[in-house]
């Protein structure tokens, strides 16, 4: 192993080839090429095989990263895929969209001085190879179970849970209000980060595995939660959170100010070939406009980079903290800067100006004061530091909150937390309703896809335990 691994001293970090910014500004294709087989093996061999793998510890899925890096370095790619997919239902998706610089790669022990192992790119390579070689196959459970499970939400948490439950033989039906499977993977994340066929082939795999989908079915409107509880032996709520946080400022109601997710959904639908009136009318089209995006997370980065590709005249991102305190991926910030986005740090919007539509964002400069209870420095306005920033389209990317799910689903007994997320027993992942479980963003709040996958997998295990216990109790009663 020593001969094959520990190459980080003599071999430099090398990402897959990245398309030039001038080229990638013109389309929505992924910006990175794939590794060649020998290059992936070379980069995987940079792993130090440390005794305490911090990359694995800081991965929400606790992926066996050093082990599948070693297998890749040895050319044993099918085994690497089996190991990678044992803990992650969507390794090729996480390899593309996870903020590795904040998770596994950011905690690589060779990061200081030698640059981290390119874990995400190798992960993507392994599973893309598995798809091309036919190693990814539909689920065929050892035995079929009669119990059925309803999953509300076809996003990453729901899809991960469905796969895990199907492996155990349960009959699984996924209900989703939208017309396509994938949730934010389809409608929220642009193609330059995650091309839609990557998600669609996962949907096809689940369908081939006998998972049933009921699309354009809004639980609460088309079917009640009570009905789902009657139809199925257990229910998993994995709806995600989609309600955009609003900004309270004068002029916020002017035309030309839109929520980030509305904008990204319109762009993704256009890419999928749908007709989108708000885009066709120009309301959600950035072409030729001065675009200002408010926020510093990954959704804001998706907006600014989408606006560039739509042909915006200028694109600015306003964030009230500095670069070091930005919640989004630093790698995404770098990509955006390469593509011509201007970041206006330590700046916050105060109001929106315009007669019939927005024309300017009135902003104020910010000084970071003492840390608050969360440990982050408190933004404080600098007096007499106002400026008007020209804007024809303002996109608010300030985060997401949960909608009123008990009201939407006609289930007033469904307990929620103060922020509207569902209250669960974290040991059982069950809500206040017997047999109704919850996972993903609807429980933890807006978070990463990798955490949604983790929650979906955990929920599947808890549901399995619940149904197994109930079946055993029924057998005992029958025996008496």
Q: CA 192, CA 143: separation in Å to the nearest integer?
A: 40
What is the four-CA torsion angle of 256, 307, 92, 167, rounded to 10 degrees? Answer: 20
Domain range list for the chain: 21-133, 148-241+402-479, 244-396
Q: Quick one: pLDDT at residue 2?
A: 45
Q: CA 227, CA 161: separation in Å to the nearest integer?
A: 21
Q: Quick one: pLDDT at residue 163?
A: 98
Q: Quick one: pLDDT at residue 291?
A: 98
Q: pTM value?
A: 0.95
For the structural domain made of 148-241+402-479, what CATH number should be given?
A: 3.50.50.60
Q: Cα 81 vs. chain centroid, distance in angstroms?
A: 22
| Architecture of the domain delimited by 21-133 | Orthogonal Bundle (1.10)
Q: Which residues are CB-contacts of 168 (< 8 A; sequence separation ≥ 6)?
A: 141, 145, 460, 464
| Per-residue pLDDT tens over the stretch 308-323 | 999 999 999 999 999 9
Q: Quick one: pLDDT at residue 3?
A: 54
Q: CA 479, CA 126: separation in Å to the nearest integer?
A: 50
Q: CA 293, CA 307: separation in Å to the nearest integer?
A: 10
Q: Quick one: pLDDT at residue 376?
A: 83
Q: Quick one: pLDDT at residue 1?
A: 44
Homologous superfamily (CATH) for 244-396: FAD/NAD(P)-binding domain (3.50.50.60)
Q: CA 168, CA 2: separation in Å to the nearest integer?
A: 39
What is the four-CA torsion angle of 334, 335, 337, 338, rounded to 10 degrees? Answer: 120
| Per-residue pLDDT tens over the stretch 222-246 | 999 999 999 999 999 999 999 999 9
Q: Do domains 148-241+402-479 and 244-396 have the same CATH topology?
A: yes
- b (16+ CB within 10 A) / e for 257-287: bbbbbebbbbbbbbeeeeebeebeeebbbbe
One digit per residue, the tens of pLDDT, for the chain of length 480 reads: 445 777 787 788 999 999 999 999 999 999 998 898 999 999 999 999 998 999 999 999 999 999 999 999 999 999 999 999 999 999 999 999 999 999 999 999 987 777 899 999 999 999 999 999 999 999 999 999 999 999 999 999 999 999 999 999 999 999 999 999 999 999 999 999 999 999 999 999 999 999 999 999 999 999 999 999 999 999 999 999 999 999 999 999 999 999 999 999 999 999 999 999 999 999 999 999 999 999 999 999 999 999 999 999 999 999 999 998 888 889 999 999 999 999 999 999 999 999 999 999 999 999 998 888 888 888 999 999 999 999 999 999 999 999 999 999 999 999 999 989 999 999 999 999 999 999 999 999 999 999 999 999 999 999 999 999 998 988 888 776
Q: CA 196, CA 211: separation in Å to the nearest integer?
A: 20
> Residue 359's CB: how many other CB atoms inside 10 A?
17
Q: Quick one: pLDDT at residue 383?
A: 95
């Amino acid at each position: 192993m020593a001969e094959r691994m520990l190459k980080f001293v003599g071999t430099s970090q090398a990402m897959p080839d990245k398309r030039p910014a001038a080229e990638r500004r013109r389309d929505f294709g992924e910006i990175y090429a794939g590794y060649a087989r020998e290059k992936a093996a070379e980069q995987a061999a940079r792993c130090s095989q440390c005794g305490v793998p911090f990359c694995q510890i800081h991965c929400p899925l606790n992926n066996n990263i050093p082990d599948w890096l070693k297998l890749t370095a040895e050319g044993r790619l099918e085994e690497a895929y089996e190991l990678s997919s044992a803990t992650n239902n969507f390794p090729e998706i996480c390899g593309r969209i996870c903020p590795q610089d904040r998770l596994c790669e950011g905690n690589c022990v060779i990061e200081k001085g030698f640059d981290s192992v390119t874990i995400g790119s190798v992960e993507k390579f392994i599973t893309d190879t598995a798809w091309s070689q036919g190693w990814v196959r539909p689920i065929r459970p050892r035995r079929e179970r009669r119990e059925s499970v309803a999953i509300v939400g076809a996003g990453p948490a729901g899809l991960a849970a469905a796969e895990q439950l199907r492996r155990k033989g349960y009959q699984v039906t996924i209900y989703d209000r939208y017309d396509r499977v994938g949730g934010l993977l389809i409608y929220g994340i642009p193609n330059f980060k995650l091309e839609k066929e990557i998600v669609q082939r996962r949907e096809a795999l689940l369908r081939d595995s006998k998972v049933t989908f009921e699309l354009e079915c809004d639980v609460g409107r088309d079917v009640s939660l009570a009905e789902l509880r009657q139809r199925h032996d257990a229910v998993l709520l994995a709806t995600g959170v989609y309600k955009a946080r609003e900004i309270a400022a004068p002029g916020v109601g002017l035309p030309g100010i839109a929520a980030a997710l509305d904008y990204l959904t319109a762009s993704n639908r256009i890419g999928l070939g749908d007709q989108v009136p708000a885009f066709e009318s120009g309301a959600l089209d950035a072409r030729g406009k001065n675009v200002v995006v408010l926020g510093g997370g990954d959704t804001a980065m998706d907006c600014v980079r989408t606006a560039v590709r739509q042909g915006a005249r200028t694109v600015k991102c306003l964030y009230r903290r500095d670069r070091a305190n930005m919640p989004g991926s630093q790698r995404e910030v770098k990509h955006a800067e390469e593509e011509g986005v201007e970041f206006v740090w330590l700046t916050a919007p105060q109001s929106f100006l315009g007669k019939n539509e927005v024309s300017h964002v009135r902003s104020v400069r910010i000084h970071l004061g003492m840390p608050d209870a969360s440990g982050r420095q408190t933004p404080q306005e600098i007096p007499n530091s106002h400026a008007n920033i020209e804007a024809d389209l303002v996109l608010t990317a300030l985060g997401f909150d949960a909608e009123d799910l008990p009201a939407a689903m006609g289930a007033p007994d469904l307990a929620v937390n103060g922020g509207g997320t569902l209250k669960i027993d974290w040991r059982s992942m069950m809500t206040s309703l017997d047999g109704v479980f919850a996972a993903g963003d609807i429980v933890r709040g807006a978070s990463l896809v990798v955490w949604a996958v983790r929650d979906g997998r955990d929920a599947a295990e808890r549901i399995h335990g619940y149904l197994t216990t109930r079946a055993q109790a029924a057998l005992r009663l029958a025996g008496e």
